[in-house]
Amino acid sequence: MPELPEVETVRRGLAPVMEGQVIAHAAVNRPDLRWPFPPNMAQRLTGQRVLQLRRRSKYILADLDSGETLLVHLGMSGRMLISGDPLGQFVHNHPTPEKHDHVMLDMENGARITFNDPRRFGAMDLLPTAGQEQHKLLAGIGPEPLGNAFGPEVLRAAFTGRTAPVKSVLLDQHVVAGLGNIYVCETLYRAGIHPARQAGKVAAGRVAGLVPIIREVLEQAIQAGGSSLKDFRRADGELGYFQHNFDVYGREGDDCRSPGCTAKIRRIVQSGRSTFYCPSCQR
């Protein structure tokens, strides 16, 4: 589910009730998600102060004063919901544990953070804050698309000589961090690039042009609080609304929104995943 904008939306929602706060109690209701939890995870979380809540790619990272960092990935269906009323502004006051509530963090300020994930493609781990970039899941991830390390030369290098479809290369987290199925489709539509085109055959100017488009799509989606299809909720339980701004994703058979274009949006399957595009606007 969650791509960079959704994860960033969750992080922003959690930060006001988690940063600077002590985890008074952590409850872990099963031994694993996608992978086993680290040994004694509940004990290693309980009593720790959250110094900072960060995001790297699609991971949420909570630095603890124990010198460890809690890493959280939402997978396809993961949510982190706030309950309780620490700041006097949240609706969900009396939570009853629900199915698939796997981990709960009770903060000193009275907020409860519940990690719920029906499909359990999500993950949690604890890693040393120092040298965390060596962690298996973080090592080799490409630059943040909204950061200074990302630019035309990054894509140029990744695209050159590649016969894989441009869509696959943009989905590759080693190339650039945080893009998923939705935002790659939307990016390629705005760029006018056919998703099946071989990456190495995209003209240099169009490759460079992808950079500001990727940033624009992601920034607009963050501004909208992410996209809510089925599962995604912000940390306060509200829906994101960027799904109303999709040009192609999920719009198979609908009219292309480009002025003057009479084509219908198509869906194809690439590497087992749906791709939506306009056959007329994207070449």
136 is catalytic: no
DSSP-assigned letters across all residues of 196-258: TSBGGGS-HHHHHHHHHHHHHHHHHHHHTT---SSS---TTSPPP-GGGG-SSTT-TTSBP-S
Among 228, 247, 266, 278, binds DNA (CB under 7 A): 228
By CB under 7 A, what part of segment 23-82 binds DNA? 34, 57-58, 73, 75-77
Tell the burial category of 80 from Cβ atoms under 10 Å away from its Cβ (0-12, 13-18, 19+). buried
Nearer to DNA, 46 or 173 (CB): 173
58 is catalytic: yes
What separation in angstroms does the CA of 167 have from each of 139, 161, 252?
22, 15, 17
By CB under 7 A, what part of segment 141-200 binds DNA? 161-165, 168-169, 173, 180-182, 199
Nearer to DNA, 166 or 191 (CB): 166
Residue 2 within binding range of DNA, rule CB under 7 A: yes
Nearer to DNA, 48 or 168 (CB): 168
Specify whether the CB–CB gap between 112 and 105 falls below 8 A.
Answer: yes
3 is catalytic: yes
Picking from 176, 168, 242, 246, the residue whose alpha carbon sits closest to that of residue 215 is 176
273 is catalytic: yes
Active site residues per annotation = 2-3, 58, 273
Q: Provide the binding-site residues for DNA, judged by CB under 7 A.
A: 1-3, 6, 34, 57-58, 73, 75-77, 99-100, 118-121, 137, 161-165, 168-169, 173, 180-182, 199, 226-232, 240, 271-274
